[in-house]
Structure 1
Amino acid sequence: MLKEFKSHIDTNLSFLSKKKVLIACSGGLDSVVLTILCHSLDMFCSIAHCNFKLRAEESDGDQIFTENLANHLDIPFFVTSFETNNYAKEYALSTQMAARKLRYDWFRELLNQHDFDYVLTAHHLDDSLETFLINLSRGTGIEGLLGIPEVNDIYVRPLLPFSRDQILQYATEHKLQWREDSSNKSTKYVRNKLRHLVIPELLSVNHTFLQNFETTIENLRTTHSFINEQVGRLKQELFEYSGTETIKISIDSLLGFENPKGYLFLLLKEYGFTAWDDILDLLTAQSGKQIFSSTHRLIKDRTFIILSPLNKIVTKQSYKIPEDEHMIMIPSGILKFKEVTEMSEIDLKTIYVDKKTLKYPLIVRKWKEGDYFYPIGMKGKKKVSKYCKDEKLSVLAKERVFLLCSEEDVVWVINYRADNRFKITPTTDQIVKITIT
């Protein structure tokens, strides 16, 4: 197995060459074999062991055994212990999830403190099959059927191509010692049920089942890579960016697909959405309907759905501006006030008003139903809501419309139109230039 392991490292994980790696070693069969193999290849490795204090003396025995292994191999040894059950209760986690979080947080600390490049874990082919079956039983997309990734950020799993039987055979032939975790024999956990009850039955039906599974995983990964490439191209065609983070997607284009729900899943899954039936219904819903994930929201807006991050939603409602204030930050930009002697450039981001018409403090606030103003260049008054509709502003753009007000009167629908009542006249002797940048 050492020859096959070396070939796998050289061919597929050559980036590990001359790197400083940390081996997560529990003292069990898999991690002991991984440690011995890496040491045999003269890799620059150290051992890290977690004592989760879940099995009393047995856990302490694992720690002693692992430290002795490190001493025998003359490689650095790192150890820590956790009150796992207390942590699980405090953060309302299962014991397994608590142990996982504690373990990986500690590994990250070690990497930062001691300049390790990677953490190696001893997951193997059987583990990948168990993960596949767990995800399959819960309902999943293609990503959940890819098994355990061989490389995931700083974590590398060099034993993934090897079966548990291969690892056991290597350990037996080389008379290696390891620790048996008594909890692994219990069928209390789903993974152990699959390991002891389901997978043996599958192997009895077809003795090459594990090898066939490995082939299937490779095929799925090839398919997944192809799909990702096509989705990337599709995003280039369908995503219309407004700013850096807001995205508009044509509803007609989505409805033109034979399976809109499937395309929505592929296009939007990275944004944390899960309610795919509701998202599909959004395509034919009334404008203004919204769906939220933990990080983003989707809004139906006429012929588009708009995707935006939650941190872009404007929450503060109003700002007071005293007479001596010359600059203030608001959600739509920086508002600046300057007294000038004459008008110069005029555009949507600049207005000129007669200072005598202003009553301080001025107010910047979000518009609300019932607000109206007298648009400069038009006759009579107009509701702000009607103005936004006539300007064909999206639901998201409407949320970001702010008004500059003098008491209750609108001076400026910021970024859009000034009010006729505050304009410069021949009798104006004090001009205030207001800009938004």
Structure 2
Amino acid sequence: MKTGLASTDIAAAPVRVMLLLGSLSGGGAERVAVNLANRCDPTRVDLRLALLRRTGPYLAEIDSGRVDAPAPRTVSLGGFARAPGDIARMIRARQPEVLMSFGMGVNLLAWLALRGLGENRPRWLCREDNNSDAQIDNLLGNPLGRRLIRAATRRVHRSADGVVAVARDLASTFEGRVGSSGRLRTIYNPIDVARIERSALEASVEVPERPFIVAAGRLERQKGYDLLIEAFARSRAASAMDLVILGQGSLEDALKRQAAALGVGDRVRFPGFQANPWAWFARARLFVLASRWEGFGNVVAEALACAVPVLVTDCDFGPREQVVHGQSGWVVPSGDAGALTAALDRLLGEPDLRGRLSAGGKARSAAFDLPVIAAAYTDLFVDLAMARSASPIAAPPTAWRAPGPQGPETAPVARA
């Protein structure tokens, strides 16, 4: 198969696009893939998902006939070693013109899979949706191992036809690693504002009787829930409230023990993964993202769409681009439980301030709406498929560029 197609061929049939992920577990990248699959213009792109494992709650939200995956097998190191071969077989079977892989680990596997495809190799986009340097530091304690993974990541980026980052600050870390700057793009993650607004009205959620603060995401160190629980336990303004943490992860038991040790075990709730987190968001007094690092923070954009006041950390990367301090959200330094406590006390004690942040945040959420972002990706896929040579991605039209923040390039950080 030749991957460079004449423009008349492109007009005659939608561009074949494959989105490659590990699974459809309940994370932000998986939500993005399903949103794109369901909302990119089908007259311009024929979009399929390729999974290394056919598992995850988001499988229910996409036509199973548009999802490819290898036969189930026991998860093991051998399964990881077979993943490049599985990817290559799915590519040969479907012959996509464009492949977009999601995240550092899957990008590495895609690079290994594509090396032997020759003329069957599709044009390839690496989508980076997290702070890869922080991920590497968190996963590997060995300095040599960190250097090797970073070197492999640079090689992956230089081998791809383009790199898509989900925040401008994140994209800046890849400058110099990807060769030509024309191969680096920033497109924010999409949220389905209309669906979120409908779902937020559902009354089936069993919310606490007391007023509550809400957070959501994987129960892992990255998300900073230990800092949030500490801040919640110290907060005078939150003393009559509950803290609801939506999600699943390896730290659930440790976080429950921490809450109990701090005397708030009966006020910190862990309802698990929720298919409709937005009904919780809309009923909360405050949404908090306490992350140590991020790539974008889908839940922040979703909370903005629910018109709940948002408190975020100034972590690398994403949240400080999503809100402007004092206008559409409140920003505090990352890794600082004391700053979180001070922000909780101020925001919970000032209803008028929460009202202003709620209104500003709701207006800000339109910048991340699914039709806008899906159109940007559709344009990218089509233009990349039309490129006849292995040259870098041409400079994009204005519509590709994700809307910037409603104010300064970098939001100021609250220090008190």
* TM-score, normalization by structure 1: 0.28
Q: Which has the larger radius of gyration?
A: 1
**Higher relative contact order at CA 8 Å, sep ≥6: structure 1 or structure 2?**
2
- The structure that is strand-richer by fraction is 1
* TM-score, normalization by structure 2: 0.29
